[in-house]
């Protein structure tokens, strides 16, 4: 016999936990089902830990709206919940004259998106702010920051649990079915169970499409294709030559090998970008040469031997090579016809920054009449 519950959130990454928190705080009974032995072991702990300002995303997209709203909410939340973070600021650098056009485009898009605090930098201003960075111009985004993603997830989980939510670890959702009484989930792991849920949130990150496909009754045509793109990070030996995060002018699908400085002062370069066909976090050390070349475009002082392999992360893509980067896909009943079900697909960057706003959006979707 299936055990009846109110809400199941599938996946305890930063997005699943933010949603669980929101639903629990709005009075719902929530169980978070997580396949692994700990929360947040996939994309939520394998990213740049940057609080993005919301510069790049197309006008009116979910990415633009949820990033800007999420960033504001996140700074407030971190302040109130003592989550370690730093509003360190970021400089985007045009390495040569040909990149000035890109810089201007960012600035206009950022303003449309509601980032009103950007400041263009001349070559001299850039050199004064970041003496070790070479470029012909830049702009400064003061509201970009860094955050302890693990601390954030702990805080979300703490709020959710304080409002009655339960986290079930080693509880992979293996299949399910949409029925007249709700969505039935088959949960594997050490203590397999069957749950009948009024509400299901599929926030399984890299596995979200596979989870949706395993639930009978979700129209297959609403499930996007699955693609993965790996990113490697190298760390810099020694102290930071930078005062802020440094980004080159980006490609359409990727922000380029950029500099982040974690809360301990460690400089990380990355992530790079390569399509892969399965979830495999192994570090490919043959990328080193390409990293040196990419970094030296804006940091010519990088010495041989100064980089050491860091870690990798995998982007949960819903589009393939040469297709334009799509928006976040967050589907409610109006999209797939199943009451009480929300599927989240393609929650790549800026998902961490947007997590609180994504949770509000999911809550709103559930409140709408079908």
Judged by the rule CB under 6 A, the positions of this chain that interact with ligand FAD are 10-16, 33-36, 40-44, 47-50, 52, 172-173, 203-207, 211, 231, 271, 313-315, 347-353
Q: Do residues 172 and 190 touch, judged by C-beta distance below 8 A?
A: no
Rank residues 172 and 337 by Cβ distance to ligand FAD and give the closer one.
Answer: 172
Q: How far is the CB of 351 from ligand FAD (least distance, A)?
A: 2
Rank residues 16 and 182 by Cβ distance to ligand FAD and give the closer one.
Answer: 16
Residue whose C-beta lies closest to ligand FAD: 351
- Closest by Cα among 233, 229, 235 to 283: 233
- End-to-end CA, the chain: 29
- Closest by Cα among 84, 114, 132 to 243: 132
Q: Do residues 95 and 136 touch, judged by C-beta distance below 8 A?
A: yes
Helical segments of the chain, H only: 14-25, 62-81, 100-113, 123-129, 149-162, 208-214, 288-296, 333-336, 351-367
Q: How far is the CB of 357 from ligand FAD (least distance, A)?
A: 11
Q: Do residues 69 and 357 touch, judged by C-beta distance below 8 A?
A: yes
3-state secondary structure of 308: strand
Q: How far is the CB of 255 from ligand FAD (least distance, A)?
A: 9
Q: How far is the CB of 136 from ligand FAD (least distance, A)?
A: 26
Q: How far is the CB of 179 from ligand FAD (least distance, A)?
A: 19
Q: What is the DSSP-derived secondary structure letter of residue 60? A: T
Rank residues 137 and 316 by Cβ distance to ligand FAD and give the closer one.
Answer: 316
Q: How far is the CB of 263 from ligand FAD (least distance, A)?
A: 13
Rank residues 137 and 314 by Cβ distance to ligand FAD and give the closer one.
Answer: 314
Dihedral sign computed on CA atoms, order 369, 223, 32, 12: negative
Euclidean distance between CA atoms 332 and 344, whole angstroms:
9
Tokens encoding 63: 């990415």
Q: How far is the CB of 119 from ligand FAD (least distance, A)?
A: 22
Rank residues 314 and 356 by Cβ distance to ligand FAD and give the closer one.
Answer: 314
Rank residues 50 and 362 by Cβ distance to ligand FAD and give the closer one.
Answer: 50
Rank residues 52 and 107 by Cβ distance to ligand FAD and give the closer one.
Answer: 52
């Amino acid at each position: 016999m299936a055990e009846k519950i109110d809400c199941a959130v599938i996946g305890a990454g930063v997005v699943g936990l933010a949603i669980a928190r929101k639903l629990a705080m709005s009075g719902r009974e929530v169980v978070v089902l997580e396949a692994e032995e700990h929360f947040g072991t996939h994309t939520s702990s394998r990213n740049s830990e940057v609080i993005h300002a919301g510069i790049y995303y197309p006008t009116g997209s979910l990415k633009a709206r949820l990033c800007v709203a999420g960033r504001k909410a996140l700074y407030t939340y971190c302040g109130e919940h003592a989550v370690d973070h730093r509003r360190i600021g970021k400089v985007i650098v045009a390495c040569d004259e040909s990149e000035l056009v890109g810089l201007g485009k960012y600035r206009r898009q950022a303003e449309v998106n509601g980032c009103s605090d950007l400041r263009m930098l001349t070559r001299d201003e850039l050199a004064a702010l970041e003496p070790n960075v070479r470029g012909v111009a830049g702009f400064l985004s003061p509201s970009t920051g860094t955050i302890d993603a693990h601390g954030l997830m702990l805080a979300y989980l703490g709020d959710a649990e304080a409002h009655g939510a339960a986290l079930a670890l080693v509880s992979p959702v293996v299949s399910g079915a949409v029925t007249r009484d709700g969505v039935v989930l088959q949960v594997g792991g050490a203590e397999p169970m069957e749950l009948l849920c009024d509400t299901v949130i599929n926030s399984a990150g890299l596995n979200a499409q596979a989870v949706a496909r395993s639930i009978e009754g979700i129209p297959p045509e609403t499930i996007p294709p699955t693609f993965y793109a790996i990113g490697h990070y190298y760390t810099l030996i020694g102290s930071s030559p930078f005062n802020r995060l440094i980004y080159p002018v980006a490609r359409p699908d990727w922000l380029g090998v950029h500099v982040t400085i974690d809360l301990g002062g460690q400089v990380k370069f990355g992530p790079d970008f390569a399509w892969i066909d399965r979830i495999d976090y192994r570090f490919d050390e043959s990328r080193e040469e390409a990293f040196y070349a990419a970094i030296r475009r804006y940091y010519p002082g990088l010495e041989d031997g100064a980089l050491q392999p860091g870690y990798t992360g995998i982007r949960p893509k819903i589009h393939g090579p040469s297709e334009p980067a799509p928006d976040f896909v967050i589907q409610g009943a109006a999209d797939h016809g199943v009451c009480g079900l929300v599927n989240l697909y393609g929650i790549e960057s800026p998902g961490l920054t947007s997590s609180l706003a994504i949770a509000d959006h999911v809550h709103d979707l559930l409140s709408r009449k079908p």
